[in-house]
Amino acid sequence: MEAGERIRQARTNALPSPLASPNQENGSAEPPRPCPRPDGGHAGAMGHFSYKTETVDPHRKVLSEQLILDLNHLADGPLLALAKLIPGGYIHRRPFLRDAKWRFQKRLANLSEDAAAVADHLPWFAESLKADKSRLLEHLDELAGVLGGPRVGLLCLLWNHRAENKDAALPADLLNRLVANTKPQAGKPDGKAWKALQAKLGGTTEKEPLESVDALDSAGKTVRRLLQEISQGKAARENEGRQIRRQHANELEAKDAEIRKVRDEAARQAQEAAKQAAAGAASLQALQAKLASEEAEVTRLRGELDRAREHVAKKAREIAEELLSEEVRPWLADARTLKSASEEVAKLRQLTTETVEKVRKAQRDADPFLAKEHELRQAIPQMEEMLKLLRRYLRTAGQALPEVVALEKRLTEHIEKVRYELEKRDQPSDPFLERISARINGADARELKSIEGALLLAEQAGLVDSRHADLYRRDLHRRRSYLADVAFHVQKQSGPLALLERAVATGEPARLALDANNFACLRQDYLGLRLPTKKNAQGDSRFLLDAAARQKVVQLLEKLADDAPGLHVWISFDGQQTTLKTSNSRVRVTFSRAGAKADHDIMDLVAKDKTVEAPWFVVSDDIEVRDATSREGAYIIYNDALIQLLVNRGIRA
């Protein structure tokens, strides 16, 4: 009778009472037992003799997986009772088993309590926990062969969890030996092997429940039991129906919440789209206003370009008229001379020497061609300004007109021709010098060097006067400048040196900073210097730059500034200040402060100077100066590149 009562109680305890309210039908008869996290150095807080945490931690995952697999063999009542103890509110078997893996991964610390909650409802745990410790240890290997290592390890964990004293607890090394290199078992243990092993452990094989009930219960008790089960089943179905309806209501509420969320998100996106549309419309209006202003600016620039073209055409006509008069002048001079000669022949016998001189003076005063020559000399600067304006148009225009290019070329040629004819009047009519002049006007860069050498030898031999030699040296310099300007327009420019050459050739604004000590000490051969040396405190030899050497560097850079009207030059020296002569206002000389170097002055100058809006060109072979100034946006020119620029333009020290 007692066995039958226990079987019926196990079957009916899992079913809720038909009189339970909806709020109480999912609750247990007594409040759920809390499952606190392990403390005190043990794997569980329920048993005082449980395994220590460091012993169980390496095997918690395997033991938890074995527990999850054993839950599949558990009846609905104990399984749902365990589900109520776990956060999540599971009321059905299938969703609880579906989510059991990740739920129990979060509850590894409560492994002992969770296993103890279902141990009495799994026969291989319930019967094994009733065995004697000595017999359990004796047949432990056989038990591991039948149940599996992780299952027996979970049994050892439950054994120590329920141990009442230290002698009843199992040793810690058993857990490592049983769980190591084993996998969890999903199926039930073999029935025959389990019954044989159960007999060895001291238990008895379980008989069929229905046979026990039929043998112990009378017919009346069987009827009462069946009626009770029917009523409990009906109440369970009613509770299940209420739970399903409540679950459906919760799902509908969740769906409504999702729909509201989607609607709110759609409204927010619509507002953002409206804001973006408004911002796009505002930006479109701003772009349209900017386009209108740009069109107005283009119209204004076109008007200025048309006026400039008219001005250039007018000046070109004036220059052509002047050149035409210059070409006709020899014929008029010959006619005037012939007329004067015929008149003078008739009066020659009557005139005295004094009268002849007076007539010649009056002739010079009354000569209109001399006045015209003076006007031409004054018109040359104006033509140069117009030429500079044309070259600026050629640089800034996106596509230069062929007429402007042809006009710039004609103006350049005419200015050179007028200069040559005017200066030719001041030169002696020596056939040798005339051949030199003609040769200069048609020579290239290599031939100019040969002519300059021949002129120097003729001057040293006394064949040419020094004054005349200086005039032809000026022609040589002008020819080199002209060739450099032509090369600039023909060749494609790139790099810092090309930018500096263009600024020098076209007169564009530019700023040049020279590390004077670095240039003079490293290029003594070009400057014709032989600087003395002196050892510093570290024992290194340093060149000394005297006042004469400094003046030579200043004069060289002044020649470059004279050749480039838009170039501003800063020359920085190391050491104490000395008096140096400068004739060009665009050339400035600075000296380093006490305890400092000229390198730092150049760095500060490039970083802070705003007196002239033009690009910076820094000449130095010092890597510190080059790195610091290039970070400030300056173009770096090496000493050899500067010497190449000076040689190309015919500038010598």
Could you list the beta-strand ranges (E) of 3-109: none
Specify whether the CB–CB gap between 113 and 66 falls below 8 A. Answer: no
Q: What residue ranges do the domains of the chain occupy?
A: 2-217, 305-490, 496-648
Specify whether the CB–CB gap between 179 and 59 falls below 8 A. Answer: yes
pLDDT along the chain (653 residues), means of 10: 42 38 37 38 53 78 81 80 74 76 75 80 82 81 81 81 79 78 81 81 51 51 83 87 90 92 92 91 90 90 88 79 58 58 62 61 58 68 81 72 81 75 57 71 80 81 74 73 61 70 85 90 85 75 84 91 89 87 90 79 83 84 84 86 86 77
Q: Give the Cα-Cα-Cα angle 424, 425, 429 (nearest 5 degrees).
A: 80
Report the pLDDT value the prediction gives residue 398, as an integer from 0 to 100: 64
CA 447 to chain centre: 53
Please give the helix or strand (H or E) that residue 240 lies within, else none. helix 219-347
Sign of the CA dihedral running 257, 262, 266, 269: positive
Please choose, from the candidates 506, 473, 523, 436, the residue with its C-alpha nearest in 3D space to the C-alpha of residue 651. 473
Sign of the CA dihedral running 533, 535, 536, 539: positive
Q: What is the token pair recorded at 48?
A: 């005082």
Task: Name the strands in the sheet holding 587-591, side by side, starting at the edge strand that comes first in the sequence.
Answer: 587-591, 567-573, 510-515, 616-619, 635-637
Q: Which residue has the tokens 């009562």?
A: 5
Distances (CA, A) of 136 to 43, 70, 147, 514, 612: 21, 21, 13, 99, 101
Specify whether the CB–CB gap between 169 and 135 falls below 8 A. Answer: no
Residue 232 one-letter amino acid: Q
Please choose, from the candidates 545, 567, 555, 546, the residue with its C-alpha nearest in 3D space to the C-alpha of residue 615. 567
Q: Give the Cα-Cα-Cα angle 473, 475, 481 (nearest 5 degrees).
A: 105
SS3 218: coil
Report the pLDDT value the prediction gives residue 24, as an integer from 0 to 100: 37
Q: How far apart (Å, rounded) are the C-alpha atoms in residues 133 and 169? A: 8
CA 549 to chain centre: 48
pTM (2 d.p.): 0.31
Q: What is the token pair recorded at 179?
A: 């769980």
Give rounded-to-5 percent helix, strand, coil for the chain: 70, 5, 25
Residue 303 one-letter amino acid: G
Specify whether the CB–CB gap between 43 and 55 falls below 8 A. Answer: yes
On the 0-12 / 13-18 / 19+ scale of CB atoms within 10 A, 591 is: middle
Q: Give the Cα-Cα-Cα angle 535, 536, 537 (nearest 5 degrees).
A: 130
Report the pLDDT value the prediction gives residue 263, as an integer from 0 to 100: 93
Specify whether the CB–CB gap between 485 and 384 falls below 8 A. Answer: no
Please give the helix or strand (H or E) that residue 357 lies within, else none. helix 353-366
Rg of the chain (C-alpha set): 57
Report the pLDDT value the prediction gives residue 617, as an integer from 0 to 100: 92
Terminal CA-CA length for the chain: 132
Specify whether the CB–CB gap between 619 and 519 falls below 8 A. Answer: yes
Please give the helix or strand (H or E) that residue 542 lies within, else none. strand 541-543
What is the total residue count of the chain? 653
Specify whether the CB–CB gap between 608 and 589 falls below 8 A. Answer: no
Report the pLDDT value the prediction gives residue 313, as an integer from 0 to 100: 82
Q: Which residue has the tokens 């333009």?
A: 649
For residues 576, 577, 581, 582, the Cα torsion angle rounded to the nearest 10 degrees is 110
Domain 496-648: assigned CATH number: 3.40.50
Q: How far apart (Å, rounded) are the C-alpha atoms in residues 119 and 126? A: 6
Q: How far apart (Å, rounded) are the C-alpha atoms in residues 49 and 333? A: 138
| DSSP assignment string, 456-506 | HHHHHTTSS-HHHHHHHHHHHHHHHHHHHHHHHHHSPP-SHHHHHHHHHHH
Report the pLDDT value the prediction gives residue 257, as an integer from 0 to 100: 92
Distances (CA, A) of 40 to 15, 154, 338: 38, 21, 138
Report the pLDDT value the prediction gives residue 393, as an integer from 0 to 100: 75
